[in-house]
Amino acid sequence: MRYLKRHPDCKRLKNKRNNAPTDELSAKRAWRRFNKKDTRKSCYKIQQGLCAYTELSLDDRQLGSHLEHIAPRSRFPERTFLPNNLVLSILADDYSGHLPEEQRFAGHFKKSNYADDWFITPYDERCERYFEYSATTGKVYPSQDLNETDQRKATKTILALNLNCEYLVDARLKQLSALEQKITTLLANLNIDSNQPDEHAERAFTELTATVLNPTDRRLPEFYTAKQQLLKRYRSLMINHPHLPDEFAPNAPALL
């Protein structure tokens, strides 16, 4: 999950907030009649083309996407048109409807499973610190640096969004494994045998990081946060353990 620094907003949303729904039925009717085009565009731009929950590409035409209420409008009708309650989530309504429950994920799995005191949202500036991604399993876990309370929040959020369903785990594992292969191959071929990594090694790693993480046409790569974490772990290892070339062998185990 990646921190979103801004909220979607547009004239239509502002106008709707002047007369917010007060119950589930009025929220359902108001949302059905609402022209969502500008809000979708705003969310897409802020999210840089990634699902706010899974970081899958929103350009996937097969999966599709939908505007998601973080706090469900059925239980929080007054938040229906609040910009900090709206994100674009992967899976279009019609596509999700054809999937068995256990194969759904993100907003269409969460449904009304939400509470302010535990659900971690992408508008929380600390959201990225709650989760760790494994290049070995493809799964997402609560960060080991969290206290017990925050670990429970992370666990409940992962379960609520089904972030470790088979589809996401397979897709995440495939991309992280490919990236790890690139990293370890690069580092294995560099001269890392002095007390400090040489400038060439650091420059090569920086260039790889930019190639992997920099946006293309203002769209970020899928699983951006997971890839960022993997790159940071290897960079830390490179800097702190320059005498351990075995760590950089192409078949080295993942760091998580």
Contacts of residue 251, Cβ cutoff 8 Å, sequence gap at least 6: 184
CB atoms within 10 A of CB 246: 8
Helical (H) or strand (E) element with 186: helix 166-188
Helical (H) or strand (E) element with 88: strand 86-90
> Which pLDDT tens digits describe the chain residue by residue (256 residues)?
999 999 998 888 988 888 889 999 999 999 999 999 999 999 999 999 999 999 999 999 999 999 999 999 999 999 999 999 999 999 998 888 788 899 999 999 999 999 999 999 999 999 999 999 999 999 999 999 999 999 999 999 999 999 999 999 999 999 999 999 999 888 777 755 444 556 777 888 889 999 999 999 999 999 999 999 999 998 887 766 554 444 443 333 333 4
Q: What is the pTM of this model?
A: 0.89
